[in-house]
Structure 1
Amino acid sequence: MNAMPIQREEQSLPPVALVHGWGSSYDRTWRGTWLEGELLAQGRTLIPVALPGHSPGVTSDRPTDYAEIADQVWCTLERHGCLDAVGFSLGGKLLLRLAAEHPTRFRRLVIAGVGENLFSAENGTAVSNALFHGVPHGAPRGLRQVVDEALASGNDLSAMAAVICRPPQAFGEELLARITAGVLMVTGEDDEIARSSDAVTRLLPNGRLVLIPGLGHVETPAARAVQEYALTFISEECSSPAPQ
């Protein structure tokens, strides 16, 4: 994973990790966006995270090699001290797990494109088959969009398939209860992959929820409204997690 910090002048707010979703990359999701530019203009240090199996570096086509994918991401983040972070889809899921396992190391999180799917196993077989053999006729629009994004990403298909087919890790209510960071859940009302974020938000000790009308899954991180909510939330100074 390549996560060389993008630094500007000294700042009082912590570094910001930006984490993309499955089948994409930092460049396709965050590079050159309004959010990236505004954070740099504020003097924030950015940590561009490449998910395992999604970079030009060493990859594996064995799903078991990604069984501990959250720990692999943590190896990139742990040296940066306390963090703010923005994550989309799989990136958001992994950030929630890390914030539960390392609660003192996260101040504020923006989790986009994650809802009820946090509690269920990913449909890895269907996605993997679609990557190599095409999306079947009549498949949900969300599946087609996700596969199209993965095919356009330039990432190794076998590695991405291995990531989506990795052994599942249960995410229960008790994990969400451990998260002390302020968390902003941002979901599109038309997101058929994330589905509702209400249950996740209610279980977070310091959670807020924003629903964006007319927004689907794949287009979520690029939406200006999502980026504006994210910037506002992680730009607030606070000595304790954000209230609900």
Structure 2
Amino acid sequence: SEVLFANSDACTCIMVPAELGEGGNVFMGQTWDWLAKARSNSVILKVEQEGRPEILMVCEAGLVGGKGLNSEGLGVCLNAASVGKGKIGMPLHLMMRNILNSSLPTEALKAVSAVPRAGSGVFNIASRSNYEMQVEFSPDAFDVIMSKGEALVHTNHYLSALIAPKDVAKSFISSTYTRLNGVQRQLSKMKGPIGMKGLFRLLSDHELYPESVCYHEDPRQSGERYCTVYAMVMDVTSGILWISAGYPCEGKISEYRL
């Protein structure tokens, strides 16, 4: 991923704090846009480990870290981002596993801030203690944007003034701006608490198709085609994960619980 994220496609992440979540719960979700053939090797793992939290995560088969949640009430999602360089350090999948091995949001943050990082990206970290953080990182820097009670949205460009000047992915993933703005506008119009159904509705949006939040294969592309491999939503408070079998707009949703 440290190599491929310099040329990857577009994911959209949303975090909903307890103030806005159904039942006062914390929710988060994302689309995972990647090579279409990745659907055949995506797996859901339930990890039981002595002395550490139980984990429910989604990843490509063979990886030790992925997007998911744990029994301590922590969840993590991922956005691709790039500053166009890397160095010897910890790959992002190992950082994700260490986030899910954590018991507190502060420990999860240290899993990113306190290690030499090989590449770039954005971890969206939420907790049932109602701390929501967008942790943007590169090999040389990191920054944290936290919710003050509002929903947070992240796509594929850096929001932090610390790292944004070195962003290279924004120049060729132009939909990063329209997806961010579109989801933020829709969130502002939503009435009542937001839960699983509301998040899947946002992640199924087709505005500016095919370069929409729910990203279908573009017949204009040559070679390997990208698309929304799946969308996932998590109730971090209750330890529930929902995932679509393919495009979220098709409504084929499965539920998994810790």
Considering the TM-score relative to the shorter chain, is it more than 0.5?
no
TM-score, normalised with respect to structure 2: 0.27
TM-score, normalised with respect to structure 1: 0.28
Could you say which structure has the higher helix fraction?
Answer: 1
